[in-house]
Amino acid sequence: MIYYPQQKTVTVLMKQIFWKPLRLFILLVVLSLFGMHSVWAQQAKPLNLATFDHNRYHFGFILGVNQMLFSVKPIENLPFIKWTSTELPDFYAVDSAFVYSVNSTPTPGFSIGIVGNLHITPFLDLRFIPTLSFGERILNYNILTYKNDVGTFVEMKKSIASTHVEFPLELKYKSHRLNNVSAYVLGGVKYSIDLASQKKAQQNTNDITVKLNRHDISLELGVGFDFYTTYFKFGTEIKMGYGLNNLIIRESNLYTNSIDQLKSKVFLLSFTFEG
C-alpha cells in the first residue's frame, strides 16, 4: 500500500516562496511612495544638518532584520528518479525512494554593519557597507520511501545556519531634499563569505548536512528614505538580494544530487544611523 500525501506541486510551492517576500517588497515600495507624497505636501521647515550632504564622505552604522532563503531548481524529472539505499544516508532498512519535491523555507535573522558613504555628486553616493549577517534556511524534501514494496511518505528537513561576512558596494541615487526628508533608490553588487555552514557540517558527523560553497556574489536593489534629525541622519531601507552562484556541493546522496541549482535570496529591512 502506498500513501500519497495531499501536497502542492513544486511549481506552486516555488511561486509561494518567491512571491511572498517580493509582494512585501512591492507593498513597502508603494507605501513609501504614498509617504513621500504626504511629505511633499508639507510646508517648508527649518533644515536640520543643513550642510550634511556637502561633506565629501561620512560614516555610520546599520541594523537590520533579514530573511534568508534559497531559490531551488531541482534536477530534471526529479519525481521519476529512483534512489537506491546507498543514496539514503538518513534512512535505515529502506530499499529505495523517490523525491517528489524540494523547496526552501525562510527564517528571520539579523544584520549589523558599518556604513562608509562617499558623495560623488549632489544626488549620487557610493556606499561600502561591511556587514555581518546571521540567519538560517531550511531545505524541505518530500520523499516516498519503499521497504518490502510498502510505500511511506516522509518529509525531511535540513537546516542550514549561516553567518555571512558581506561586502556590498552600492550606488545610491537620491531625490532632492524636501525639508528634512529625501528618498532614494540603490543598486549594487555584494560579495559574501559564509563562515558557519562548513564548520557546522564538519561537526555534525552523525547527521547528513547539506554543504554549501562558502563564496557568493549577489545583485542588490532597494529603496529607502533618509530623515535628517538634529544630530544625525536616520534612514529606513528595504532591499532584495539575488545570488548568482550555484551554492550546492554535491555528495553521494539524494539531498545534494536531487538539486540542479541552489542560489541565495535575501530580503532585508534595515535602519541606518549616519553622522
pLDDT in tens, 167-226: 999 999 999 888 899 999 999 999 999 998 654 554 444 567 888 999 999 999 999 999
* DSSP conformation class of 248: B
Domain ranges of the chain: 10-274
- What band does 63 get if pLDDT is binned at 50, 70 and 90? very high
- What band does 77 get if pLDDT is binned at 50, 70 and 90? very high
Instruction: Please compute the mean of the pLDDT values over residues 248-252 and round it to a whole number.
Output: 89
Q: What is the CATH number of domain 10-274?
A: 2.40.160.20
Instruction: Say how many CA atoms lie within 13 Å of 93 toward its Cβ.
Output: 2
Write out the DSSP string of 198-214. Answer: HHHHHH-TTS----B-S
Q: How far apart are CA 164 and CA 50, in angstroms?
A: 36
Look at the block and give the residue holding cell 534559497: 70
Decide which of 27 and 271 is more confident.
271
Averaged confidence pLDDT in the chain: 84
**CA 98 to mean position of chain CA atoms:** 29
- What band does 41 get if pLDDT is binned at 50, 70 and 90? very low
User: Which secondary-structure segment (H or E) carries 64?
Assistant: strand 57-74
- Phi and psi angles of residue 196, each rounded to the nearest 5 degrees, phi first: -105, -35
> Please, where are the H alpha helices in the chain?
10-40, 197-203, 254-257
Give the global pTM: 0.77
Please tell me the total number of residues recorded for the chain in this structure. 275
Radius of gyration (Cα) for the chain, nearest Å? 23
Q: How far apart are CA 39 and CA 49, in angstroms?
A: 18
Give pLDDT, residue 9. Answer: 40
